[in-house]
C-alpha cells in the first residue's frame, strides 16, 4: 500500500464546493490502531480541497464490533460495541451510525433492542462477511434483513472479490458482490450498499460494477455502491469514471443516484498517522472531482453534487424506503 496519493493537475475551471457525506467511516480498534470518536470528529472538522469542501456527515460504524479477537469472535458484542458509538453520536451530530450486526455470533433481537432504544440515532445496519467468515448469502443474515425492512433502514455490506496468485478472479469469497445480491433480492425494497464496489483491484471492481448494473437492469434489488478504496492510488479514477458512465446509460435511465462517495477512513492512508494528516483524503477528493470534470463536461457539477452529497442525503432521509429510486 502506498504512503501517499499524488494529485492530478487541477482543472482551472473546477468550481464546485460544499458539503460532503462520507458514506464509509469507522471508529474503534483495528489491529494495533485504535481510533477514538473524538479523533475522528477532529479529523472531519477541518476543511478540504483548499477550503472549498467540508464533510458534513459521516456514515460510521464501530470496528470493535467487526474486528475478530484471537478466539475468532468480534472484540465487542452487538450491544456493548454499538452502544459506544451510539452514545458518541448523541453528542456529535456529524456521526450517522450504522449498527454492526454479527450473524453467527449475535442475534437480531440485540439489534432490534438498539433500534427501539435509539430510533432517531440509528440510520442503518452494517455487515462485514469477511470478518464474520460467513458468506453474505447465508440464511443467518435473514433475521437482520427483516429488521432493515421493518424499520426502513439501509444496509452496508463489505464487498470483496478474491483472486489467486496469478491475479485470476475467484468467485467464492464470502463477501462476493453476487452473494450480497442474492440476499438483497429477498428484500427488494431495502437499499443495500456494496461497500468498496468489490474490493480487490481493477478486475474486482469490474465485478462489483457488473453486479450493481445487473440489479438495476433486472429491477430485483436496490443495490448501491460506495467508492471506498476504489482507484485510491490512481488520480485518473478509471473505475469511477467507468461506473458513472454505465450508470448514466442503463435501460432504466440515469441511475447515478446509486453511487456514494466513501473512503473507509481512518483506515490505511485515509487516516494517516492517527488522523493527524489529511493529505491522502484531501487528494482523493480533488482527484475524483477533477476526473469527473475532465470526463463529463457540463454534467460534472450535477454528478459531483450527487455522488459527494445528495445521493447519501436522500438515502438517509427517506422516511419510506419503498420510495427510493
**Is the model more confident about 79 or about 317?**
79
Query: Which CATH number fits the domain that encloses residue 292?
Result: 3.20.20.140
Residue 98 region by backbone torsions, left for phi larger than 0, else alpha for psi between -120 and 50, else beta: beta
* Of 127 and 49, the one with more pLDDT: 127
On whether the CB atoms of residues 156 and 136 are closer than 8 A, the answer is no
Q: Does the residue 219 lie in any domain?
A: yes
Residue 8 lies in a domain: no
What pLDDT score was predicted for residue 166?
86
Q: Is the pLDDT of residue 104 over 80?
A: yes
pTM, full prediction: 0.92
Asked if the structure places residue 246 within a domain, the reply is: yes
| 298, part of any domain | yes
- Say if residue 207 is exposed, middle or buried (CB neighbours under 10 Å; 0-12, 13-18, 19+): buried
Domain extent for 109 = 18-323
In a domain, 7, yes or no: no
| Euclidean distance between CA atoms 276 and 279, whole angstroms | 10
Mean pLDDT, range 172-188, rounded to an integer: 97
**In a 3-state reduction of DSSP, which class is residue 198?**
strand
Q: In which band, very low, low, confident or very high, does the pLDDT at 128 lie, cut at 50, 70 and 90?
A: very high
Which cell numbers in the block locate residue 253? 435511465
Measured distance CA(80)–CA(287) in Å, rounded:
38
Looking at the structure of the chain, the number of domains it has is 1
Q: Report pLDDT for 171.
A: 87
Give the span between the Cα atoms of 283 and 160, in whole angstroms. Answer: 24
Q: Which of 157, 98, 159 is nearest to 125 (CA)?
A: 98
Q: Is residue 10 part of a domain?
A: no
Question: Above 50 in pLDDT, residue 11?
Answer: no
How much is the mean pLDDT over the chain?
Answer: 90
Residue 155 lies in a domain: yes
How many residues comprise the chain? Answer: 325
153 occurs within a structural domain: yes
173 to 103, 127, 170, 211, 276: CA distances (angstroms):
17, 15, 7, 15, 34
Amino acid at each position: 500500500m502506498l504512503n501517499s496519493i499524488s494529485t492530478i493537475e487541477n482543472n482551472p475551471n473546477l468550481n464546485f464546493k460544499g458539503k460532503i457525506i462520507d458514506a464509509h467511516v469507522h471508529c474503534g480498534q483495528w489491529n494495533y490502531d485504535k481510533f477514538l470518536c473524538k479523533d475522528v470528529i477532529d479529523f472531519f472538522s477541518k476543511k478540504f480541497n483548499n477550503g472549498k469542501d467540508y464533510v458534513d456527515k459521516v456514515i460510521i460504524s464501530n470496528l470493535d464490533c467487526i474486528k475478530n479477537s484471537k478466539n475468532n469472535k468480534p472484540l465487542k458484542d452487538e450491544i456493548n460495541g454499538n452502544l459506544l458509538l451510539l452514545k458518541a453520536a448523541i453528542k456529535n451530530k456529524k456521526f450517522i451510525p450504522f449498527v454492526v450486526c454479527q450473524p453467527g455470533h449475535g442475534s437480531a433481537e440485540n439489534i432490534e433492542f438498539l433500534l427501539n432504544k435509539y430510533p432517531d440515532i440509528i440510520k442503518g445496519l452494517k455487515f462485514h462477511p469477511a470478518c464474520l467468515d460467513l458468506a453474505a448469502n447465508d440464511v443467518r443474515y435473514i433475521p437482520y434483513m427483516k429488521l432493515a425492512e421493518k424499520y426502513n433502514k439501509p444496509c452496508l455490506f463489505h464487498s470483496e472479490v478474491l483472486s489467486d496468485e496469478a491475479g485470476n478472479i475467484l468467485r467464492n469469497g464470502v463477501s462476493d458482490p453476487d452473494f450480497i445480491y442474492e440476499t438483497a433480492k429477498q428484500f427488494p425494497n431495502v437499499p443495500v450498499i456494496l461497500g468498496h464496489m468489490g474490493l480487490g483491484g481493477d478486475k474486482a471492481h469490474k465485478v462489483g460494477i457488473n453486479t450493481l448494473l445487473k440489479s438495476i437492469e433486472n429491477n430485483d434489488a436496490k443495490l448501491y455502491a460506495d467508492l471506498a478504496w476504489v482507484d485510491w492510488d490512481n488520480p485518473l479514477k478509471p473505475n469511477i469514471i467507468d461506473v458513472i458512465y454505465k450508470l448514466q446509460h442503463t435501460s432504466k435511465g440515469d441511475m447515478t443516484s446509486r453511487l456514494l462517495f466513501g473512503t473507509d477512513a481512518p483506515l490505511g492512508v485515509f487516516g494517516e498517522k492517527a488522523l493527524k494528516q489529511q493529505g491522502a483524503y484531501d487528494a482523493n477528493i480533488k482527484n475524483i472531482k477533477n476526473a469527473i470534470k475532465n470526463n463529463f463536461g457540463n454534467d460534472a457539477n450535477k454528478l459531483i453534487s450527487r455522488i459527494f452529497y445528495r445521493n447519501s442525503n436522500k438515502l438517509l432521509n427517506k422516511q419510506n424506503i419503498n420510495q427510493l429510486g
